Amino acid sequence: MNDNVQYLSQESFDNLQKEMNDLKSQIIPDIAKKIDEAKQQGDLSENAEYHQAREEMSWVQGRLMELQQILSNAQIITRDPKNSGTVSLGSKVIITANGAERIFTIVGPQEIDLTKGFISNVSPIGGALLGHQAGDEVEVITPGGKQVYKIIAVK
């Protein structure tokens, strides 16, 4: 897999696109206005509003650059019906480990959400599961040591 590619669901792509558009059309102009208003107050060396607005502008511009990089390298995750039994990006995988059943969805790094069971394709578990099928046992070296996961189903 290409290291520069950012794997995203269509929903995440749309959300990041909206965030980028909001930064460009609303947030950056609002901060620029705050900076201009603070400059009009005179001595900038002791103007807290000016310094806060400049810091905010720096952060927002950094986030805008990050979003542009992500979106310009985005590849939308789509499930190939021919590979529906093989773990790939976008797969929902039911596994057992140490007698406990868990459900993971394999996503790109931008969409990780452990509360929803979304794990990255570059995480130890996500990367190890890729390419395997139901019935396979997969050994994974995790920070807690070696684990064996049995794949029950791939959806």
Domain chopping of the chain, boundaries: 6-76, 81-154
Kindly report whether the global pTM for this prediction surpasses the value 0.85.
Answer: no
**Can you read off the two tokens belonging to residue 77?**
């995750």
Position of tokens 């190939």? 80
Q: In b/e form, how buried is each residue of 76-106, taking b as 16+ CB within 10 angstroms?
A: ebeeeeeeeeebbbbbebebeeeeeeeebbb
Q: Could you tell me which CATH class the domain 81-154 is placed in? A: alpha beta
The list of the chain residues with pLDDT below 70 reads 1-3, 79-83
The identity of residue 16, as a single letter, is L
Q: For all residues of the chain together, what is the average pLDDT?
A: 90
Q: Give the pLDDT score at 1.
A: 47
CATH number of 6-76: 1.10.287.180
Q: Which residues are 133's β-sheet partners?
A: 86
Q: How far apart are CA 93 and CA 112, in angstroms?
A: 15
Q: Give the pLDDT score at 2.
A: 52
Q: Give the pLDDT score at 80.
A: 64
